[in-house]
Chain A
Amino acid sequence: MENKDLNSPGYEIPDDIKGSVSITSIDRIYNWGRRSSIWPLMFGLACCAIEMICTAASRYDFSRFGMEVMRPSPRQADMMLVSGTVTKKMAPTIVRLYNQMPEPKYVVAMGACASGGGPFKEGYSVVSGVDKLIPVDVYIPGCPPTPQALINGLIKLQELIDTQSIKKVRWYQKGELAAVPIPILGPDLIYQRDIPAISDAKKEA
């Protein structure tokens, strides 16, 4: 963020201390700090992961946005970049990883597969978009999105972070944040929220 954006207008700074004093709101400095150091989870699923690696490499270099610290451990990551097709066999792992990430956390669905199932949507072992499992903040269309398209999406994420207010964000609300229930691998993938409905269907039959 430019200095002029960080400085909150509305307060006149006397001329003699201009340049050494800066007035801003807590929201702004909080968001500025977070958006400039988003650490992604080192997590590649499919084709898009290769473009993600290329984005991290020297030509596109997303360390220019403070994102170079790819963490293999979810405990140290801020953003999950779902780069590729989410399959049913992988679904429990993805939810578990998401639950292990500390707040504040963001999810970016990279590419058609993660956004809505993609070309493989009709397949029997593909989840139709990662938003069926966990909440997604930014969707990047493309198959695969080029590195520049990915960076464009990440900038969108930064813009989203800029709009958040410390008073309203979910991780400072009272009460505990509920973990996302982990789907079960049965004869097919079982979403826990569907269990009563499936039982009812069985009784009717």
Chain B
Amino acid sequence: MYGKGILKGLGVTLKRFVNTYLEDIKWLGKRYYTAEGIAHRSSKNANGIFTIQYPEEKLPVPEEFRYIPFLVFDEGEDGAEIIRCTSCGICAKVCPPQCIWIVRSNDPKTGRPIPDPAEFVIDVDICMNCGLCAEYCPFDAIKMDHDYEIASYGRTVFDKEQLMKSATYYDEIRPINNSIEEAARKAKEEAKAAMAAARAEKAAKAAEEN
């Protein structure tokens, strides 16, 4: 029969239309603006209306999500910001579009280079959000941010001031990664301490023998 295919297709749209209301009844007002509702609408069982009502409700950001990089600082006891970056330059070298600029700094007294970067600039209008800088940073100092709400009325270039974010913030957005890295750092420090202890012992022994 001519038109059977068309009717079959219209059946699909009708089913979808009805499904939305059936889902609404099933959830009784909890479908929107609740965490479960959003999770359900993004799951394999999602049915009916699919829309996330941004900005009132937002999709949860997965841990690995990457946007613009930021620099992690540890909080010192008196609120001092201790930057983790040692300006080793690996991020700048690995960056595919070369959007990271790092100025190294010198100790004012000795004139020797010190690890603290004097300036750290990321041209956000070049950055391709690839995450290689964060992946290969040996000091866990540069990480990918989750904040995507940064539209502005001008071009965007982030300097060191704007890039700095606390380790607490990092732990908030990437708890699993942070705990793994912290454990690795701890193990490294312990190994270092053990080695130093062993060396001291050896030296002491050597002194004793002499």
Interface pair A141/B125, CB less than 8 Å apart: yes
> Given A112-B128, A118-B128, does the pair A141, B156 have CB atoms closer than 8 Å?
yes
Question: A180 on the interface (CB 8 Å rule)?
Answer: no
Docked pose: A131 CA to B129 CA in angstroms: 22
Q: Within 8 Å CB of A191, what residues of B?
A: none
User: Which chain B residues in 47-61 approach chain A with CB under 8 Å?
Assistant: 49-55, 58-59
User: Which chain A residues in 35-70 approach chain B with CB under 8 Å?
Assistant: 58-61, 64
> Given A118-B97, A138-B151, does the pair A60, B129 have CB atoms closer than 8 Å?
no
Interface pair A145/B128, CB less than 8 Å apart: no
Contact-residue bracket for chain B: 20 to 34
Question: A8 on the interface (CB 8 Å rule)?
Answer: no
Interface pair B155/A139, CB less than 8 Å apart: yes
Interface pair A142/B126, CB less than 8 Å apart: no
Interface of B is mostly: loop
Interface pair B67/A142, CB less than 8 Å apart: yes
> Given A141-B151, A160-B153, does the pair A60, B125 have CB atoms closer than 8 Å?
no
Ordered by A's residue number, 27 sampled pairs between the chains whose C-beta atoms are within 8 Å are A58-B51, A59-B50, A59-B51, A61-B51, A64-B51, A115-B125, A116-B125, A116-B155, A117-B125, A119-B96, A129-B155, A139-B152, A139-B154, A141-B125, A141-B150, A141-B152, A142-B148, A143-B129, A146-B148, A148-B58, A149-B150, A151-B54, A151-B55, A152-B54, A155-B55, A156-B153, A160-B153
